C-alpha cells in the first residue's frame, strides 16, 4: 500500500507543477497582450517602450517627413535633422520673419493631408526672435518635434563654420566630400539602394563575393563609381584569409597580379581600389610596395582605408607617384542611425577645414538611412558631394 500512496503523491506534485507553469504562462501572455495593446493605442508601455523598444514604421509619418524636407529645400530654408532612439524625428529650423507664415501654412497643410495631428505646444518670445515648438502626431504616436526660430529683425544668416582660405585655395571650389560604401557584393540589390540616395557614391566591391559581378554591372549602369575592395591580410590571426582571395604579407608579385587580374574581370569598370581589412599588410612597407607597384602598372588609383594607425599605404602611394587619398571618417564603427548621422556632420566639418574629406561606410540599414536623411541637409551646407576619384592627390 505504501508504494501506491507514494505514486499518488508524486502524481499530485507533477499536476501542481504543471498547473503552476500553465497559470504563469497564461498570466505572462496576458501581461504582454495588455502591454502591446496599450503600445499600439499610443499609451505608455514599460515592456515595449523601455525593454523591447519596438519602433513601428508609420507610412504617413514617413511620407510627411519626405514632403517636409522637400518643402524646406524648395524654399531654401536652412534646417538640421536627426532621429532619436525612439524613432522621433527632430527638425531645427531658423528663418526670417517673412518666411515663417508661408512655412507654417505648408506645415499645417502637410500634417492634415497625411491625417496627422498638429500641436503648437510652446511659444517663447525673445528680444530678437520667437521660438515655436511644434509636435506632430500620427496614429496616436508622437513622430516629429519641430523647433522653429523666427528672427524678428534683419540679421546675418546663421553662423556656419567658415571655409578657411587654405581649404579653398587647395580646391578653387567649395569644399568637397565623398562617400565610399565598402563590402558590396555580399547581398543583392544594394546597388538599387545606393542609386536611390541620389548623390555621387563610390561602391567598393569585394571580387569574391557572390553578387559582386551583377552588382558591379548595375552600379556602372546607374552611373555610380566603382572600385575594387581588395582583401588584404589583417593582424588578427583569427580572421579567415584564404590565399586565393587575400593579398598576404608573403604573397609574391605573381600571386598579387593574379588576384588583381581576377578582380578586374569581376569589376571591369573599376578605376581604383581600396583595402578590405589589411591592418597587417598595409603596415608592412615591403609587402605594400609590391602591391602598389602592380596597382601603378594597372593604371589604378589607391585609397587607403586606414584600418590600422600604423598604415604606410597612403604615404607609400604618394612617394611612388600613384594617385591616392586616405579615409578621414568611418561612418559606422558603431552601427546606429545616431552615430552615422553624427559622423556625416563631422565629415562636413573636416571638408570645410581641409578643403576635402572622405568617409567610408558599409551597406548597413542604419548607415543608408542616415545618408538618405542627410541628403537635403548636405545640399544646404555649401559643400560638393563628389566621387572618391575627385579627391585624389
| pLDDT, one tens digit for every residue, the chain (393 residues) | 455 555 665 666 667 667 666 766 676 666 666 665 554 444 445 554 445 544 567 888 899 988 998 889 888 898 888 888 778 899 999 888 888 888 888 888 999 999 998 887 666 666 677 788 888 999 888 899 898 988 875 444 443 445 555 455 354 579 999 999 999 999 988 999 999 999 999 999 999 999 999 999 999 999 999 999 999 999 987 777 899 999 999 999 999 999 999 999 999 999 999 999 999 999 999 999 999 999 999 999 999 999 999 999 999 999 999 999 999 999 999 888 888 989 999 999 999 999 999 999 999 988 998 999 899 899 889 999 999 999 999
pLDDT of 102 reads: 86
Print burial letters for 335-358: b (CB count within 10 Å at least 16), e (below 16).
eebebbbebbeebbebbbeebbbb
pLDDT of 161 reads: 46
Question: Would you call 133 helix, strand, or coil by DSSP?
Answer: strand
Hey, how many other C-beta atoms are within 10 angstroms of the C-beta on 201?
23
The single-letter DSSP state of residue 247 is: B
- For 153-172, give the DSSP string: S--PPPP-PPPPHHHHHHHS
**pTM greater than 0.85:** no
Q: Which three cell numbers stand for residue 174?
A: 567649395
pLDDT of 81 reads: 84
Give CA separation, 392 vs 87, 286, 369, in Å.
Answer: 38, 23, 27
Compute the CA torsion angle 64, 68, 69, 71 (nearest 10 deg).
Answer: 140
Torsions phi, psi for 28 (to 5 deg): -65, -40
Question: Would you call 196 helix, strand, or coil by DSSP?
Answer: helix
Total residues belonging to the chain = 393
3-state helix, strand, coil in the chain (%, to 5): 45, 25, 35
Placement of cell 521660438 in the chain: 131
Longest dimension (CA), the chain: 103
Placement of cell 529683425 in the chain: 153
Q: Which three cell numbers stand for residue 296?
A: 601603378
Hey, how many other C-beta atoms are within 10 angstroms of the C-beta on 244?
9
Q: Evaluate whether 12 touches 4 at the Cβ level (below 8 Å).
A: no
Angle CA 101–102–107, to nearest 5: 95
Give CA separation, 280 vs 78, 148, 277, 296, 317, in Å.
Answer: 45, 50, 8, 21, 17
Compute the CA torsion angle 248, 227, 171, 331 (nearest 10 deg).
Answer: -80
> What residue segments make up the domains of the chain, in order of their start?
2-51, 59-151, 165-391
Hey, how many other C-beta atoms are within 10 angstroms of the C-beta on 247?
26
Judging by beta carbons within 10 Å of its beta carbon (0-12, 13-18, 19+), is residue 375 exposed, middle or buried?
Answer: middle
Chain centre distance of CA 371: 5
- Residues 348 and 87: their CA atoms lie apart, in Å, by 24
Q: Which three cell numbers stand for residue 161?
A: 563654420
pLDDT of 247 reads: 97
The single-letter DSSP state of residue 281 is: G
Q: Which of 311, 305, 298 is nearest to 267 (CA)?
A: 298
Q: Which three cell numbers stand for residue 101?
A: 507664415
**H-type alpha helices, 224-336:** 253-266, 285-297, 313-319
- Residues 161 and 38: their CA atoms lie apart, in Å, by 46
Q: Give the β-pairing of 329-330 and 324-326.
A: unpaired
pLDDT of 166 reads: 47
CATH superfamily of 165-391: Glycoside hydrolase/deacetylase (3.20.20.370)
Q: Which three cell numbers stand for residue 40?
A: 499600439
Q: Evaluate whether 78 touches 93 at the Cβ level (below 8 Å).
A: yes
Amino acid at each position: 500500500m505504501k508504494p501506491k500512496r507514494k505514486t499518488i503523491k508524486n502524481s499530485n506534485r507533477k499536476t501542481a507543477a504543471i498547473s503552476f507553469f500553465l497559470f504563469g504562462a497564461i498570466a505572462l501572455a496576458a501581461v504582454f497582450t495588455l502591454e502591446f495593446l496599450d503600445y499600439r493605442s499610443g499609451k505608455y508601455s514599460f515592456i515595449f517602450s523601455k525593454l523591447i523598444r519596438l519602433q513601428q514604421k508609420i507610412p504617413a509619418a514617413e511620407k510627411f517627413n519626405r514632403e517636409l524636407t522637400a518643402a524646406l529645400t524648395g524654399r531654401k530654408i536652412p534646417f538640421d535633422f536627426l532621429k532619436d532612439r525612439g524613432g522621433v524625428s527632430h527638425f531645427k529650423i531658423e528663418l526670417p520673419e517673412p518666411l515663417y507664415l508661408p512655412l507654417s501654412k505648408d506645415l499645417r497643410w502637410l500634417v492634415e493631408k497625411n491625417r496627422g495631428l498638429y500641436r503648437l505646444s510652446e511659444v517663447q518670445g525673445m528680444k530678437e526672435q520667437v521660438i515655436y515648438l511644434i509636435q506632430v502626431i500620427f496614429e496616436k504616436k508622437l513622430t516629429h518635434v519641430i523647433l522653429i526660430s523666427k528672427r524678428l529683425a534683419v540679421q546675418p544668416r546663421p553662423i556656419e563654420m567658415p571655409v578657411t582660405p587654405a581649404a579653398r585655395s587647395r580646391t578653387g571650389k567649395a569644399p568637397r566630400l565623398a562617400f565610399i560604401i565598402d563590402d558590396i557584393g555580399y547581398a543583392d540589390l544594394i546597388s538599387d539602394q545606393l542609386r536611390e540616395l541620389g548623390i555621387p557614391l563610390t561602391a567598393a566591391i569585394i571580387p569574391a563575393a557572390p553578387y559582386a559581378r551583377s552588382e558591379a554591372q548595375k552600379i556602372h549602369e546607374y552611373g555610380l563609381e566603382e572600385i575594387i575592395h581588395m582583401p588584404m591580410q589583417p593582424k588578427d590571426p583569427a580572421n579567415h584569409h584564404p590565399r586565393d582571395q587575400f593579398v598576404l604579407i608573403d604573397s609574391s608579385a605573381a600571386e598579387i597580379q593574379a588576384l588583381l587580374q581576377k578582380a578586374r574581370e569581376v569589376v571591369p569598370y573599376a578605376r581604383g581600389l581600396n583595402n578590405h581589412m589589411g591592418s597587417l599588410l598595409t603596415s608592412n612597407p615591403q609587402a605594400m610596395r609590391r602591391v602598389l607597384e602592380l596597382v601603378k602598372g594597372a593604371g589604378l588609383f589607391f585609397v587607403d582605408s586606414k584600418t590600422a594607425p600604423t598604415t604606410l599605404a597612403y604615404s607609400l602611394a604618394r612617394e611612388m607617384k600613384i594617385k591616392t587619398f586616405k579615409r578621414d571618417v568611418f561612418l559606422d564603427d558603431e552601427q546606429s542611425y545616431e552615430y552615422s548621422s553624427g559622423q556625416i556632420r563631422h565629415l562636413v566639418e573636416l571638408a570645410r577645414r581641409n578643403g576635402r574629406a572622405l568617409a567610408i561606410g558599409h551597406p548597413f540599414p542604419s548607415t543608408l538611412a542616415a545618408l538618405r536623411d542627410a541628403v537635403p541637409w548636405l545640399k544646404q551646407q555649401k559643400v560638393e558631394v563628389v566621387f572618391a576619384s575627385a579627391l585624389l592627390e
